[in-house]
Amino acid sequence: MKKANLEIAYRIHCLRTESGISMEELAHDVGVSGKSTINEWEKGRAVPRGKNLKRLAERLSVQPDFILFGSFKHYVAGLLYETLREESDQELTNAARNYANVSVRPDQAKMIEFNPEKVGAMYDFDQLKMALLTKDIFQIEFAPVVEYVTHSFTAVSDYRAVNKEIISRSIARLRLLTKQINETLIGRSNRITKFIAENLGKEDSFVANDSLEDFLKNTLTMPMYEDLRAKSRREQIEYYFQAKFTGLSERYLQDLSSLLKKYQSSLNKLKR
C-alpha cells in the first residue's frame, strides 16, 4: 500500500472524527453506498476521486487538494522531494546539489525530518522525510526553501496549478542560499574540507616522525614495506612525502574543526 494513500486515509479519518461525524452520516452526505466506502477510504484501500472527492471535501470543510496532499507546505515539500528524487528537473537538481556541496559535509550528513503544518492532533501524521538522494549521499535541510516558497504564495485553491512556479521559486531560493553560505566562514571551511578530504592519501603513522633518511635507511626495512622496497627510489620518496602530506592535512582538518567549534560557541553566546 502506498504511503500517500495511508496519509490520505489518516487525513480523512482525522477530519471526520474532529468534526464529530459518523461513517454512516458521512456516507449519506457524500452520496456513497454505506459506511463500507468510508471505511475503505480511512483504511487506505481506496481513494476518493471526482465528484466523491469534491463532495467529501465540501462536507469536511476543506479543499479537495488538502485531502489528497495535506497542507500546502506539505505539498511543496513533497513536490520538491519527488522532483529531486526523479531528477526530472535537472536545473533544480543542480541547484540543490550546489546547495548541499556548500552546506553539508559528508561526515555531518543526516536525514532531516520535515514537519508538515499541524493544527492539534488533526495533522499529526507521519513526518515527511526530506533528503536529496545523490551519489555523494548528501542529505540536506530543505525547511528554509519550503518555508520561503510556501509563504511566497497567497491562498492556493489548486495546488497542482502552481507546480512550475513552485519549482522556479525553489531554484531561485536554492541559488540564493548557495551564494549566502558560500560567503560565510562555514561555507569557505566546508569547501576547503571537502577538497582536502577528496585528495587525502594513505595515512602512515610510522612515517610521521621520521626524517627521509631514517625512513629510507631503517623504517623501510620493516616487513610491512616489502612491496615498497621492490620499487624504485623515486617511488619510495614519493610514498614518504605523500604520507607526510596526509599527516599534515589531517592535522589541518583537526585544527579547522577546533576553530569552527570555537566560532559556533561564540555565536551561541550571542543568542543567550
Q: What angle do CA 146, 148, 150 make, to 5 degrees?
A: 65
26-78: pLDDT as tens digits: 999 999 988 899 999 998 899 999 999 999 999 999 989 999 988 888 888 88
pLDDT (0 to 100) of residue 135: 33
- Give the closest residue to 160 by CA, choosing from 52, 86, 63: 63
pLDDT (0 to 100) of residue 125: 31
How does the average pLDDT of the chain come out, rounded? 79
126-165: pLDDT as tens digits: 333 333 333 332 345 677 888 889 999 988 888 999 999 9
Q: Count the neighbouring beta carbons within 10 Å of the beta carbon of residue 108.
A: 10
d(CA 9, CA 65): 14
159-190: pLDDT as tens digits: 999 999 999 999 999 888 888 877 777 777 87
Three cell numbers written together for 218: 631503517
pLDDT (0 to 100) of residue 23: 93
79-129: pLDDT as tens digits: 887 787 776 778 888 888 777 766 644 344 333 333 334 333 232 333 333
pLDDT at 221 over 70: yes
Band (2; pLDDT cuts 50, 70, 90): low
Dihedral sign for Cα atoms in the order 231, 232, 236, 241: negative
Provide the b/e sequence for 28-57 (b: ≥16 CB within 10 Å): eebebeebebbeebbebebbbeeebbebbb
Look up the pTM and report it. 0.57
pLDDT (0 to 100) of residue 256: 85
pLDDT (0 to 100) of residue 117: 40
- Give the closest residue to 95 by CA, choosing from 57, 149, 47, 31: 149
